[in-house]
Amino acid sequence: MDQQSAKEIDTLRAEIVQLQERVRTLDAASKEAERAKTEYVQNIAHQLAAPINAIKMNIETLTNPKVSLERKQVLLRSIYSQGTILAHLIKNFSLMSHLEADHELTGFREQPEDVDLYRLCVNLSNDFQPVGKYKDQAIYVEESEYKIAGFPTVFVIKNLFTQVIYNLLENATKYADANTRIVIGLRTSAQMVGPTIKSLGIPIPKEAITRIFERGVRGDSARKLHPAGTGFGLYIAKRIMEIHGGSLTVEPSGKSSTFIVLCPKKKG
């Protein structure tokens, strides 16, 4: 074998070693992706199974003659609340694919309409009262703030905008401490208007202010408090606000966090 061939063989050998290394890296990455996918699907399954099962069990309890009428009324309200939550949850999953693409408002089947912010917030807070009740959380809408602003309306796709407030209220009831108030206020500026959701619970560190809106990201303490969760809620909410020309931000202050939803004010 001449010197030239020996050199070529060495080069090829080195390339093979490199390729083997590359295969190992890719294999590890694919296993990691597979693991993440399994975890994600399990999370979705858990999130869907829990409310459906609660509804089933509540209905079963309604037929139990030993359970008091008052208790049954509570269970009925809870069925309604779980049903609403379930519908929103499913919507979150279906919205994910929609929002991944760079959609504009016109890309959605539903048309934007005038939505009375106060009424929407009151309705949604009522949906969440039974959930908050278990942690003795009360959800308040600061009527006075809406009154001062003349009960503003926003021009949005109602279904999508509802999903934003829903996701924020879901987080608030999930992560706020027991025995606290979740307060829905109003923020206005020259060009923008929208609700704020303030709650007291696990602190959001300053360095996480932007990260928590990223797809699939859940804060360490959020994960600790509630292991199941997709990390989609805030991402979806922010995307929805962006396609409306608005914004979603958070102002943390110690244990208190205020999420600020802003929509452009209607012109004219």
Partner 1 sequence: MNKKTILFADDELHYIEALIAVAEAEGYNVKTCRNATDALRIVAGGGIDCVVIDIMMDPGPDLPKVEPHSAGLAAIDRLISKGDHPPIICLSVISDQKIINALKKKGVLYLRKGETSLKKAWDIIQSKITGIYHAR
- Interacting residue ranges for partner 1, rule: CB under 8 A: 45-46, 49-54, 56-58, 60-61, 64, 66-68, 71, 74-75, 78, 82, 130-131, 133-135, 178, 223-228
Give whichever of 34 and 114 is closer to partner 1, judged by the CB atom: 34
Q: State the nearest-atom distance from the C-beta of 37 to partner 1, in Å.
A: 16
Query: Across-strand partners of 264?
Result: 192
Q: State the nearest-atom distance from the C-beta of 217 to partner 1, in Å.
A: 16
Q: State the nearest-atom distance from the C-beta of 137 to partner 1, in Å.
A: 11
Q: State the nearest-atom distance from the C-beta of 163 to partner 1, in Å.
A: 21
Q: State the nearest-atom distance from the C-beta of 227 to partner 1, in Å.
A: 4
Give whichever of 72 and 98 is closer to partner 1, judged by the CB atom: 72
CA–chain centroid gap for 37, Å, is 19
Give whichever of 9 and 67 is closer to partner 1, judged by the CB atom: 67
Give whichever of 130 and 233 is closer to partner 1, judged by the CB atom: 130
Give whichever of 129 and 247 is closer to partner 1, judged by the CB atom: 129
Whole-Å CA distances, 198 to 116, 150, 164, 173, 223: 20, 21, 14, 11, 20
| Cβ neighbours of residue 108 closer than 8 Å, sequence gap 6 or more | 98, 157, 160
Q: Are 118 and 184 in contact (CB under 8 A)?
A: no
Q: State the nearest-atom distance from the C-beta of 32 to partner 1, in Å.
A: 17
Q: State the nearest-atom distance from the C-beta of 268 to partner 1, in Å.
A: 44
Give whichever of 20 and 53 is closer to partner 1, judged by the CB atom: 53
Q: Are 221 and 235 in contact (CB under 8 A)?
A: no
Give whichever of 137 and 167 is closer to partner 1, judged by the CB atom: 137
Residue 188 phi/psi, 5-degree rounding, is -130, 150
For residue 176, give the DSSP letter. B
Q: Are 135 and 179 in contact (CB under 8 A)?
A: yes
Residue 198: both structure tokens together: 């303030």
CA–chain centroid gap for 215, Å, is 10
Strand positions, DSSP E, 48-137: 113-116
How far is the C-alpha of 212 from the C-alpha of 20, rounded, in Å? 37
How far is the C-alpha of 165 from the C-alpha of 192, rounded, in Å? 16
How far is the C-alpha of 40 from the C-alpha of 217, rounded, in Å? 12
